[in-house]
A and B are shown apart, each in its own frame.
Chain A
């Protein structure tokens, strides 16, 4: 229902509008649903609005979980 893509913030202005880099393409995005956004953050964009920011620590935790499962399965 809700295809949304991770993209990195390139620009953001005082009115919460700006752009993200999505696989090399610059796309206009409204950041008013994520008021703490700043340049360089990774966000999830859906229908022109950033709806959530990506937490890199949690991403690393999940990747660690894959490694743990692989290791445990091998034993």
Chain B
């Protein structure tokens, strides 16, 4: 197979004509036209490449959605992880790096003093945590991860592999979230008036385009799945505007080189084999029916919440003064938060949106602080 040339998706020659077409379509629509980029990685990329500002000049208001798993995980999970690490002896807590930096009432995980024989390990993949468990049968190894449909199949496969290899000392504390239910909840609440959606590229690679069909069908709103290169995002936005102009909303796929209409059936199957949907509490968004996943009965031996009797619902509040919840609902732009850039910065974050590399506050701090764009 010949190398797909990623540079062509970033080329000025590719991008500028699309930006012109976007401006032309936007001029035929009421201004501002609000598009929610659901995925935090889109938020980050739109600002990193300077597109958010150019789109704003064309009358598009890009607002960030709930698609940052670190940001929407309530503090109760992190606090349960702190308790686990500081009170359980001979335990390895393995987690993604940014999860360990979220401030909570009991401090961030990385500042917790581990119990005797215990330690924190930063991992890139749940598979590394399973390797740790197999290499250290005398220790309990708990993988603590937050994720959407992109991440969950890998966690599910790791749990299955733990079962196959009879690795009884491996368990998962999962903050596992599904993307379509909060979009339905946002539309039902009417609090965030959006006129179109840019759907996440890699969640869609797993769940497929059909998962969003209810949005054009029930709510009459246009949308497009997009990749993360500048050209990918702009083609997605152009498609949303085309649908709005023609009055024919659909779920377009502007990332067909990666996203198949049916998603990844193997990944969906393994997710469904290990986990089942449940109601879940999101930071800022509250309780959303069917928006989380829990272990199916056959796999509860690897459920850390059960194994260590953790209560992840003990705390749902932001730390004092933090407005991450309002930012996540699209009600507040990061610079409008009294803490932004003052008490809260990347070196001293007060909330998860300033911690995660795709959190709206961090993105704003890094790329848009002086521009004062109304939303991220």
Interface residues of A (CB under 8 A from B): 1-4, 6, 8, 28, 30, 32-35, 40-42, 44, 46-49, 51-52, 54-56, 58-59, 61-63, 65-66, 69-70, 73-74
Contact = CB atoms under 8 A, between A and B. Distances in A.
Please give me the 9 A-B residue pairs with the lowest Cβ-Cβ distance, nearest first.
A48-B125, A2-B150, A49-B154, A2-B202, A66-B14, A58-B257, A70-B17, A52-B205, A58-B256
Given A1-B148, A1-B200, A65-B235, A70 B13 contact: yes
Contact of B124 (A1, A47, A55): A47
B272 interface: no
B125 A47 contact: yes
B125 A49 contact: yes
B8 interface: yes
B188 to A, nearest CB: 22
Contacts of B5: 63
Nearest to B127: A48
A49 B270 CA distance: 13
B49 to A, nearest CB: 15
Nearest to A9: B1
A52 B2 CA distance: 17
Given A3-B41, A54-B4, A70-B14, 16 more contacts: A1-B150, A32-B157, A44-B205, A47-B126, A49-B154, A51-B205, A51-B206, A58-B256, A62-B9, A62-B254, A63-B8, A63-B14, A69-B17, A69-B21, A70-B13, A73-B21
Interface in B1-50: 1-6, 8-9, 11, 13-14, 17-18, 20-21, 39-41
A73 B358 CA distance: 34
Contact of A2 (B8, B13, B39, B266): B39
Interface of B: 1-6, 8-9, 11, 13-14, 17-18, 20-21, 39-41, 67-69, 96, 124-128, 147-148, 150-151, 153-154, 157, 200-203, 205-206, 228, 231-232, 235, 238, 254, 256-260, 264, 266-267, 270, 357-358
B202 A4 contact: yes
Given A1-B39, A1-B148, A52-B205, A34 B264 contact: yes
A74 B270 CA distance: 49
B264 A3 contact: no
Contact of A73 (B20, B259, B266): B20
A1 to B, nearest CB: 5
A1 B40 contact: yes
B32 to A, nearest CB: 23
Interface SS of chain A: mixed
A33 B150 contact: no
Contacts of A55: 256-258
B256 A51 contact: no
A52 B264 contact: yes
Contacts of B264: 33-34, 51-52
Contacts of A61: 256
Contact of A51 (B3, B6, B39, B150): B150
A33 B126 contact: no
B6 A6 contact: yes
A10 B67 CA distance: 32
**Most A C-beta atoms less than 10 A away, residue of B17, B67, B228:** B17
Nearest to A27: B124
From A28, A49, A73, name the one whose CB has the most chain B CB atoms within 10 angstroms: A49
Nearest to B150: A2
A51 to B, nearest CB: 6
A56 B18 contact: no
A3 B40 CA distance: 9
A29 to B, nearest CB: 9
A1 B254 CA distance: 18
29 contacts: A1-B39, A1-B41, A1-B150, A2-B202, A3-B357, A3-B358, A4-B150, A30-B127, A30-B154, A32-B270, A33-B266, A40-B1, A44-B258, A46-B150, A46-B151, A46-B154, A47-B124, A51-B206, A52-B259, A55-B258, A59-B4, A62-B231, A62-B254, A66-B13, A69-B17, A69-B18, A70-B17, A73-B20, A73-B21
